[in-house]
Structure 1
């Protein structure tokens, strides 16, 4: 299968049910957009893997396993994954919970050193997610402040969310 670059921009329709509202980010391996589900009127984040990455079959398999692993975790501190599929171009995508807030790296850059009590709250919340993952045989291979997202719970309390997990590979 030839995988082509997805033509994703504001207004694009994905899977006949998501309308792209804006591009959230683009890196060397993929891009993430905010898209509204037309039937549910819910905003979601959709992550696309770029074609040059997916030419490596192991990258596509890793992406699929990441979505499966994350979908099994139920902690309030883990981003919800709702779907994974391919576009007609062959590009893979993952539909996730859309979070409002910013990552801890950006927070620390803006505010400087955080008060100990606040920092401990964030670390403990991240540890809850990691503990659930480890109990399920899942590890996080890149835990850092840029991968921890600060949002708020329904009461307005700070809530760490966002680490993505991958199922641990058996050694051969």
Structure 2
């Protein structure tokens, strides 16, 4: 399974992030101390990314950088065909990017494309731009990861814990049916999207 977001990156509208020098994690603005180790966080402003404002593959207009992970950078973009927001993951086209990383990116994109389940992030398409950059277009998840959501939400009731577990297990069951094993399941790799009928938990990575 592929990770559309940096596990510790923010998916909010913030123009800066709060960074912990002890555990090397970043949080959205509004949190002053690391919820894991209590360290006072340092505010880091985002630099201007040259891709902001560009249109990718003649379709996706990049609006904001969301985070960076082991295989690429993730952006929020607008799909010119639908007008809706999407998340775009890019890896570089230069020779410095290992071919093995590119192959892994494509393999995981194909796997995600086969997983049609409401608790797994939806892949819209993947491909390569004219400039040679591999990209993955996914549904945009406007929310917090499970770790941040728990900090904001407070102590969960037994019923809430069961709901979290049931939704995550449903995602894993769908993956296992396709012989896909999630090797890095943790709160930072689960996004929480608030909905009228209750929070929806979506497994990433």
TM range (shorter): 0.7 to 0.9
Aligned pairs, number? 157
* Offset of residue 29 of structure 1: 3.5
* Offset of residue 108 of structure 1: 2.5
Corresponding residue of 2:198: 157
| Aligned equivalent of 1:131, options 173, 186, 190 | 173
- Structure with the bigger percentage of helix: 1
Q: Deviations over 1:98-146 (max 9, x none)?
A: 1111100112233444333212211210110101110111111111101
**Aligned-partner SS, 2:168:** helix
Runs of 4+ in 1 over 6 A off after TM superposition: none
**Aligned-partner SS, 2:76:** strand
* Offset of residue 88 of structure 1: 3.4
Q: Contact 1:29–1:50 (CA<8 Å) still a contact in 2?
A: no
Q: Contact 2:120–2:204 (CA<8 Å) still a contact in 1?
A: yes
Runs of at least 5 residues in structure 2 that lack an aligned partner in the other structure: 1-48
Q: Does 1:31 align with 2:73?
A: yes
Corresponding residue of 1:145: 187
**Distance change in 2, residues 1:32/1:73 (3 Å):** same
Q: Deviations over 1:40-99 (max 9, x none)?
A: 111110011245797222211111111111111111001110111123342211000111
Q: Contact 2:60–2:77 (CA<8 Å) still a contact in 1?
A: yes
| Aligned equivalent of 1:101, options 143, 151, 156 | 143
**Aligned-partner SS, 1:138:** coil
Corresponding residue of 2:85: 43
| Aligned equivalent of 1:8, options 27, 32, 51 | 51
Q: Does 1:114 align with 2:156?
A: yes
Give the distance between the partners of 1:97 and 1:73, measured in 2 at CA: 13
| Aligned equivalent of 2:107, options 65, 84, 87 | 65
CA RMSD of aligned residues (A): 2.2
* Offset of residue 28 of structure 1: 5.1
